[in-house]
Amino acid sequence: MDYQTADYIMTYFSSLQNDKEKLANRHISSVIKLGHPDANLHAATRAYKRMGWLTDDEDALTLVKLGEEGFKIKVAERILLKYKDQVVLNYCPKCNRLARTPAARQCRHCGHDWH
């Protein structure tokens, strides 16, 4: 699976993530916002941990080790495999590339309109 498809699935079908994946996703987003959260002395890092945005859960951290791109691809593949009937991949009928959203009716790549 390519990153664009994985990002699409993660964006529009995030409700299909399991609890560990949600923890890992929140952790990755928080790490990106904080920069480098390993310094426990940083006040924002402590606050993020207190609010549950950074996790110590080993299973979630194993997913985090894949990096943002690897994590998204792995989770999107699982979602697509398990929930194939609920995931709508909206492809352009002209160029067969993925549209911007599941409800889009105009291709961002070739400009084709299928309203």
Reported as a pLDDT band with limits 50, 70 and 90, residue 40 is: low
Q: Is 40 helix (H, G, I), strand (E, B) or coil?
A: coil
Q: How is residue 111 written in tokens?
A: 């400009």
**Residue 41 binned pLDDT confidence (cut-offs 50, 70, 90):** low
**Dist. CA 98–CA 7, nearest whole Å:** 11
3-state class (DSSP) for residue 44: helix
Average pLDDT on 50-67 reads 92
CB 44 within 8 A of CB 81: no
| Token digits of residue 114 | 């299928």
- Ordered alpha helix ranges (H), the chain: 3-12, 19-34, 43-51, 58-64, 67-82
35: left (phi over 0), alpha (psi -120 to 50) or beta: left
pTM: 0.85
